Amino acid sequence: MARILVTEQLADKGLEAMAAAGHEVDVRLGLSAEELLGVVPGAQALVIRSATKVTAAVLEAGRDLVVVGRAGVGLDNVDVPAATARGVMVVNAPESNILSAAEHAMALMLAMARNVPQAHAALVAGRWERSKWEGTELHGKTLGILGLGRIGTLVAQRANSFGMRLVAHDPYISSDRARVLGIELVDLDRLVAEADFLTIHLPKTPETAGLVGKELLEKAKPGIRIVNAARGGVLDEQALADAIESGKVAGAALDVFASEPCTDSPLFAMSQVVVTPHLGASTAEAQDKAGEQIAEQIVLALAGDFVPYAVNLAAHGASEVVRPYLGLAERLGRCLTALCEGLPGPVEVSYAGGLAGEDTGILTLSLLKGIFAEATEEPVSFVNAPRLAEERGLEVTASTTSTSRDYVSLITARCGEHSVSGTLAGLGISVTERIVSIDGQRVEVPFAANMLVVRNDDRPGMVGTVGTTLGDAGLSIVSMAVGQTEGHAATALMVLTTDRPVPTDVLEHLRRQDGILAVHRMLAG
């Protein structure tokens, strides 16, 4: 019997399932951070939702913890790396609320289109305003879907039944997969230019933060209506308010906000706006599913059985040769995605040298984890990575060769014209993961949290141009590798690491400089 500490409201079915498995279920609601540190010792499992912060300090105090379970999808409130370092499994319930979230997006769209909340408020206040709240039909309108993950796909299916034309933007899904769904893939500018309604289904990442902002809204079709039931911060709320005020945007419906709880916003005073307080997962069915799913995962983890939704599942069965390369493969996946700015085409991964004689299947899964790390709202694990690839129509092929001219072992990932190769350097605790080639150009740089790859004309002054642009933005260059690119006439490649992430506006300014051909921001993790 294990002690399972539950710090937030969980469906009774979940509590009952854990107790039925013979465990002590210790429910302690409303704990402060200090109180949590006092009660977590002695617990083998910790079950939370979105309010409890599982920090490194909590994990240090919970020395007996085997598993932390989040009864929901997001894991922003769990220090997953710290849990992994301590050998604590982290699990979630990724399928518990997708249907509820999709239905809420549709509810917001309909409520906005027909002014349901506004008309209701007027009528109960004693005003019969039939002519004031004329709405618009969904039938025959174009729905732009920003993000075709599972929730975006469910919304598309439901919108199709309303007779809407479907277009979408998602650089991680193949055109063949979209075609099967009856959706036309388009670029971002065309998406907003054609959409009568735009619905957002993206995770919040450095690449998507503020994506739907002033610049994009200026390109939108006049009279567009926008729904955001995904993540706050992807939609710039002040830019949206300004666009509504100017008449560019006809209406909006929001369930999420950049800062929550949000009780004061310029949007709240606008009659064209419908808002709800993050209710996407707030259905009885979703809460029951979350409780049941997380209880199942907790019981499996405590029994030492296979856990389907383990986010940081250890690579059991990986050989001593393969295991050190797991992190490298994941980082190469992240880098390849950055170079390709999405992955619509097939991916090839090759293992050369000492890895060729090993079972490298787990490394390919690690590569997929990296590829989809910034592409989906749900945390990516060894378990769900293949499903994500299948759902998005991404083909991955692997090959091996015993020949590696310069390295003991080498991993190369390729998609279209882009490729990235990496290896391990050093011995023992001094081993480092290094990039050794990008797009066929040999470069020797260690991975870093903030990296830029710049392709430019091969002429004097280009290093200065890049350095000045970053310096003017208050960014320091930590390291740089440069060289002429084989197979590209009169072009060169720079790989830089910076002291902090390069803001999007700085990237765009750099791309506009004379002689700069391409700039890619890589978040290697």
Which single residue is written with the structure tokens 């969904």?
Answer: 138
Both tokens assigned to 97: 């609320």
Give the separation between CA 412 and CA 420, rounded to whole angstroms.
Answer: 6
Buried-exposed string 499-511: b where 16+ CB fall within 10 A, e elsewhere? eeebbbebbebbe
Which single residue is written with the structure tokens 């560019």?
Answer: 248
Known catalytic membership, residue 104: no
The number of residues making up the chain comes to 525
Q: Which residue of the set 35, 245, 260, 508 is catalytic?
A: 260
Known catalytic membership, residue 278: yes
Instruction: From 403, 407, 410, select the one nearest 349 (Cα to Cα).
Output: 410
> Distance of CA 325 to CAs 62, 164, 197, 292, 399, Å?
29, 47, 45, 35, 16
> Distance of CA 410 to CAs 352, 362, 400, 415, Å?
5, 15, 10, 17
Collapse the DSSP code of 201 into the 3-class scheme (helix H, G, I; strand E, B; otherwise coil) and give the result.
coil
Instruction: From 275, 269, 268, 273, select the one nearest 250 (Cα to Cα).
Output: 273
Give the separation between CA 445 and CA 423, rounded to whole angstroms.
Answer: 11
Q: Three-state secondary structure along 112-160?
A: HHHCHHHHHHHHHCCCCCCCCCCCCCCCCCEEEEECCCHHHHHHHHHHH
Q: Which residue of the set 70, 225, 231, 455 is catalytic?
A: 231
Please check whether residue 325 is in contact with residue 355, taking contact to mean a CB–CB distance below 8 angstroms: yes
Task: Fill in the DSSP letter of residue 501.
Answer: P
By CB atoms closer than 10 A (0-12, 13-18, 19+), residue 104 is: buried
Please check whether residue 146 is in contact with residue 201, taking contact to mean a CB–CB distance below 8 angstroms: yes
Give 3-state DSSP helix, strand, coil % of the chain, rounded to 5: 35, 25, 40
DSSP string, 282-349: -SHHHHHHHHHHHHHHHHHHHHT---TTBTT---TT--TTTGGGHHHHHHHHHHHHHHHTS--S-EEE
Q: Which residue of the set 86, 114, 190, 278 is catalytic?
A: 278
Which single residue is written with the structure tokens 């690491």?
Answer: 497
Please check whether residue 411 is in contact with residue 351, taking contact to mean a CB–CB distance below 8 angstroms: yes
Helix (H) or strand (E) segment spanning residue 463: helix 462-472
Strand partners, 337: none
> Distance of CA 452 to CAs 136, 158, 224, 520, Å?
46, 40, 35, 6
Residues marked as catalytic: 231, 260, 278
